[in-house]
């Protein structure tokens, strides 16, 4: 297992030029964006952009940076090497397109957008410019997930047969009937393909009785291109306070990997063997047990790619792909049919 320690937030003097980063969005998760780039010694948070002057000034003061209420003014004043976008789920398109057109390297929050045509517009506009365009699908960087991926790639599970994803808690209702699927289960759709390869078809059972008009829970049967099958249970009718809020299981012909609560534990078992191998963060290992640290780890990898002039480790097209699968799931639920992706 390669070392992966909190280079996440390097506190040693930088060996390469410090990168200037600006954050658009001053909400709850936007604070993580401000924190990550302030914590590192190889980045400088050159500004935060918000709509509300007081809240933006408060965020900027907390992270000792400059507040802006206009994105173009920020670009003009700071010439950032990277801009991160952390706006409300359903308000991603126009500000992101504007930044793509300004040609600035970007890291955007999931979901990319809700509408597939908008996703295509963003990805192709960035592609035309050869722009560095990354999306934050940080769950891939959780230690149990990293280790499970290594075990799968090394063949320790044999041929994959089935995978299970279950995740969700309190509702985060927006204007979309499919907020749960598109903004929360995006992590599951991305994760299942990250570990098991492309999804070939989906069949969905939606539930919309707790908040009529909104699909707050859905159960989806999945077929992978490999022939493996899977299930996704995504919910807004549960609670993040419950133990075992998140579960990810990948079963193969020779073994099984079980991830609990994303960062809490990985159990790797061999078929027929009562003794399993368990990873869980050691007593002092706050870095690996910390969910927010998955974002630090992702940023660490992303900055390496940005500095090297390479493609982002998780490109925005991964967000477009998850959205494509989500729309197949929506159609399946609406029409009561199996839908190929």
Which residues sit at the interface with ligand NAD, rule CB under 6 A? 24-30, 49-51, 86-89, 91, 95, 109-110, 136, 138, 183
Distances (CA, A) of 190 to 110, 138, 153, 199, 278: 11, 10, 17, 10, 24
Range list of β-strands (E), 243-338: 247-252, 255-260, 265-270, 277-280
CB nearer to ligand NAD: pick between 108 and 220:
108
C-alpha to C-alpha distance for 135 and 318, rounded to whole angstroms: 8
Minimum CB separation of residue 210 from ligand NAD in Å reads 21
Nearest residue (CB) to ligand NAD, 49 versus 199: 49
Of 40 and 140, CB closest to ligand NAD: 140
Q: In the bound complex, what is the minimum distance in angstroms from residue 176's beta carbon to ligand NAD? A: 12
Backbone phi and psi for residue 33, each to the nearest 5 degrees, phi listed first: -60, -45
As a residue count, the chain comes to 341
DSSP assigned state of 166: E
Q: Dihedrals φ, ψ of 271, to 5°?
A: -55, 130
What would the two tokens of residue 114 be?
């809700």
Query: How far apart are CB 93 and ligand NAD at their closest, in Å?
Result: 10
Nearer to ligand NAD, 86 or 263 (CB): 86
Smallest separation (angstroms) from ligand NAD to the CB of 338? 29
Which tokens sit at 127? 């592609």
Nearer to ligand NAD, 51 or 307 (CB): 51
CB of 283 to ligand NAD, least distance (A): 26
- For helices 143-153 and 186-196, angle between their N-to-C axes, nearest 10 degrees: 30
Nearest residue to the partner ligand NAD, using Cβ:
27
Query: CB 6 → ligand NAD: shortest distance, Å?
Result: 18
> Dihedral angle at the C-alpha atoms of 108, 177, 248, 322, nearest 10 degrees?
-40
Nearer to ligand NAD, 91 or 121 (CB): 91
Q: CB 175 → ligand NAD: shortest distance, Å?
A: 13
**99 vs 341, which CB is nearer to ligand NAD?**
99
Closest CA to 234 of 224, 252, 247: 247
């Amino acid at each position: 297992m390669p070392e992966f320690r909190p280079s996440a937030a390097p506190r040693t003097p930088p060996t390469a030029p410090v990168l200037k980063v600006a954050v658009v969005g001053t909400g709850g998760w936007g604070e993580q964006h401000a924190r990550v780039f302030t914590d590192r010694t190889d980045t400088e948070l050159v500004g935060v952009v918000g709509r509300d002057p007081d809240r933006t000034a408060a965020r900027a003061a907390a992270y000792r940076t400059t507040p802006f209420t206009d994105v173009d003014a920020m670009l003009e004043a700071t010439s950032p090497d990277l801009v991160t976008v952390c706006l409300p789920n359903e308000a991603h398109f126009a500000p992101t397109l504007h930044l793509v057109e300004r040609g600035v390297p970007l890291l955007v929050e999931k979901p990319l957008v809700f509408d597939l045509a908008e996703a295509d517009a963003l990805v192709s506009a960035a592609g035309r410019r050869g722009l560095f365009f990354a999306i934050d699908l940080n769950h891939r960087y959780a230690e149990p997930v990293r280790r499970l991926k290594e075990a799968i790639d090394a063949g320790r599970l044999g041929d994959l047969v089935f995978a299970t994803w279950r995740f969700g808690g309190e509702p985060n209702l927006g204007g979309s009937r499919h907020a749960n699927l598109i903004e929360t289960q995006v992590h599951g759709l991305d994760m299942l393909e990250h570990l098991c390869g492309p999804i070939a078809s989906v069949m969905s059972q939606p539930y919309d009785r707790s908040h009529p008009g909104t699909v707050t829970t859905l159960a989806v049967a999945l077929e992978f291109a490999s022939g493996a099958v899977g299930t996704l249970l995504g919910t807004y009718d549960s609670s993040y306070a419950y133990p075992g809020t998140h579960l990810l299981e990948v079963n193969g012909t020779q073994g099984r990997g079980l991830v609990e609560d994303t960062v809490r534990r990985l159990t790797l078992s061999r078929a027929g063997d009562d003794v399993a191998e368990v990873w869980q963060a050691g007593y002092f290992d706050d870095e690996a047990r910390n969910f927010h640290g998955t974002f630090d780890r992702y940023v660490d990898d992303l900055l390496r790619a940005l500095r090297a002039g390479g493609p982002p480790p998780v490109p925005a097209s991964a967000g477009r792909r998850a959205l494509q699968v989500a729309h197949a799931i929506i159609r399946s639920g609406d029409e009561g049919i199996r839908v190929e992706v």
